[in-house]
Amino acid sequence: MKKNNQKEDIDSRKSDEKVTFKKINEIFIRFSSALRTAQIFEANNITFLKQVHIVFTLMQNILEDEKEAVFEFKEDTLFFNNTRVKFAFLSYHYFKFLSNEFRIKEVGSISFSPDLAEQELREFIYLFANEKVNEKNPFEDFELKIERKGISHVLLEKIHPFELAALMKQEEVKKSAKKVFFKSVTHLKESFEREKQKKRIRLKTTRRLVQSIVNLVSKDESFMIGLTNIKDYDEYTLNHSTNVCVLAICFGKRLGLEKKELLDLGVSAFFHDIGKLEIPKKILDKKGKLSKKERKIMEKHTYQGVQKLIILKEFSFLPIKTLYVTLEHHLWANLSGYPRYWKKDHIDLFSKIVKMCDFFDSVTTKRPYRKHTLTRDEAVSLMLEKSGTEFDPSLLKVFANMIGVYPIGSLVVLNTKELAIVTEAKSEVAFLLRPKVKLITDRIGNKIDGEIVDLIEMDPETMEYKRTIAKSLNPNKYNIRISDYFLAQAQ
């Protein structure tokens, strides 16, 4: 009997939870949708008025039962009356939209009190959706505007300083990512020059820079991968080595490596081509195919790299794996490639990681000897064709996943005829085809400094996606420098 009662209790709790979930989800979607509509239509538009009425009716029911109706954002999570809003696949874009509106105005929470009138709600929604606020103190500015309108049953609270600090940090992260990236290129240049003059390479600086890259990757992986679109034609090896270092750290992180291992991996990737210092420039930059003899010289950069590292004055500070990576980063998973191993049948994991990042960065970079520079997705397709021969199949899956279907930095054309650059990939499988993109032309092809849009955004009226990628394009053909767009973000 007791057992039966318990079961009934649990069942009724479950059904209560379902009702609450449904109710909260509905008010959240209706509220976001009304805001969206307010941005499209005039304040007296019938569609907008209808939407406000629905929100008002829902709100009244809740206010009758619970005496308050509060939307609150905390740690990138939306709460309604202290219950976390769990959203389904289709409502995710509403969440993104709403959180963005809260952030712009630095609003932490919005409370509606029981005597709220429909007209008041309508005016509030319209203001919240459309009012441009002073950038210096957006919250105070917006609060004043509401007061002036005589809206007294809607109470705002400012975003918590911690949350605000986290938002500010995102900007700072981008700025320091850019700084660290260029410092790394300069440091590598200096290291190569010092090596030529048989001076000490400042390995402590190398470790500090790579440590910063490791930290920045855990804060903003997308932006770091975006920076690897920087391809300086004249200083290929420097730029390439820094790109490979960043990509290897991102890749290693996805493979679950510890921070200390990521640091060693990054340092190894950073110096993987140090042996190229011995290769004559006319071979490095030769237009067209290398002769057999030239190829032999080129292939020596792996051995020569190891020789250089061993005689470094600071060799004891160098992770031992750097030697493996320098020697093995052109070896194939099936042990062909170069240099040939006669007895060893095992390639170090770090070497396999660097091999993939090296290949990817190299085929996507314009070089005098390469007729066709691949786009980032073409490079992944080519790598997948080489799965099991040149590349380790299980590692390649993780790599392909990291780069994405539409890799960060891809130039794409949308179904709206706008051109855009992919700026942020989604880790959820369901959204792989819907990354965030920055619009760079309008629908008739005029260049614009457009906004960053999320391709999961839907039109609230038609419930169809606003934009969809039609196909990816080769930026070289359109004379577009992808790296400029990433650098502009970190001004």
| Size, binding site for Fe ion by CB under 5 A | 2
Stretch that binds Fe ion, among 81-89, 334-342, 351-359, 402-410 (CB under 5 A): 351-359
Q: Which residue is nearest to Fe ion (CB)?
A: 358
- State the binding string over 217-256 for Fe ion (x if CB under 5 A, else -): ----------------------------------------
Instruction: Decide: is 299 part of the binding site for Fe ion (CB under 5 A).
Output: no
φ/ψ of 228, rounded to 5, equals -70, 0
Q: Which is nearer to Fe ion, 81 or 237 (CB)?
A: 237
Measure Cα distances from 173 to 100, 214, 226 in Å: 19, 12, 13
CB nearer to Fe ion: give 309 or 469.
309
CB atoms within 10 A of CB 87: 17
The whole-angstrom separation of Cα 27 and Cα 34 is 10
Shortest Cβ 362–Fe ion spacing (Å): 6
273 binds Fe ion, rule: CB under 5 A: yes
Which residues on neighbouring strands pair with residue 439, listed in sequence order? 420
Q: How far is the CB of 326 from Fe ion (least distance, A)?
A: 8
Q: Interface with Fe ion includes 390 (CB under 5 A)?
A: no
Nearer to Fe ion, 123 or 358 (CB): 358
Cβ proximity to Fe ion, 163 vs 358, nearer residue: 358
Choose one: 12-20, 172-180, 310-318, 354-362; the region binding Fe ion (CB under 5 A).
354-362
In the complex, what is the shortest distance from the CB of residue 166 to Fe ion, in angstroms, rounded to a whole number?
Answer: 37
Judged on CB neighbours under 10 Å (0-12, 13-18, 19+), 241 is buried
Report the alpha-carbon distance of residue 50 to residue 168 in Å, rounded: 37
**CB neighbour list of residue 386: distance below 8 Å, 6 or more residues apart:** none
Find the shortest distance in angstroms from Cβ 273 to Fe ion: 4
Q: How far is the CB of 353 from Fe ion (least distance, A)?
A: 13
Determine the interface stretch with Fe ion among 220-228, 271-279, 425-433, 448-456 (rule: CB under 5 A). Answer: 271-279
Closer to Fe ion by Cβ: residue 92 or 236: 236
- Per-residue DSSP letter, 276: G
Residues 425 and 404: beta-carbon distance below 8 Å: yes
Question: Which window, 16-24, 59-67, 68-76, 352-360, contacts Fe ion (CB under 5 A)?
Answer: 352-360
- Closest distance between Fe ion and the C-beta of residue 301, in Å? 6
List, as one string, the DSSP characters of 234-265: TTHHHHHHHHHHHHHHHHHHHTT--HHHHHHH
Residues in CB range of 423: below 8 A, 6 or more apart: 222, 226, 408, 435, 436, 437, 438, 452, 485, 486, 489
Burial class (CB in 10 A: 0-12, 13-18, 19+), 278: middle
On whether the CB atoms of residues 161 and 168 are closer than 8 A, the answer is no
Q: Which stretch binds Fe ion (CB under 5 A): 219-227, 269-277, 291-299, 366-374?
A: 269-277
Please identify, using beta-carbon distances, which residue of 322 and 423 lies nearer to Fe ion: 322
| Pick 123 or 273: Cβ nearer Fe ion | 273
When the beta carbons of 163 and 273 are compared against Fe ion, the nearer one is 273
- 48 vs 360, beta carbon nearer Fe ion: 360
Residues 166-185 that bind Fe ion (CB under 5 A): none
Interacting span for Fe ion (CB under 5 A) from 147-155, 160-168, 356-364, 453-461? 356-364
Classified as helix, coil or strand, 465 is: strand
The dihedrals phi and psi of 109, each to the nearest 5 degrees, come to -150, 155
Distance separating alpha carbons of residues 294 and 10, to the nearest angstrom: 76
Interface with Fe ion, residue 358, by CB under 5 A: yes
Choices 149-157, 160-168, 196-204, 265-273 (CB under 5 A): range interacting with Fe ion: 265-273
Q: Which residues contact residue 104 at a Cβ distance below 8 angstroms, ignoring those fewer than 6 apart? A: 133, 138
User: Which of 24, 248 has the CB closer to Fe ion?
Assistant: 248
Phi-psi category of 67—alpha, beta or left, where left has phi over 0 and alpha has psi -120 to 50? left
Strands lying side by side in the sheet with 77-80: 83-84, 77-80, 69-74, 107-112, 154-158
| Residues near Fe ion (CB under 5 A) | 273, 358
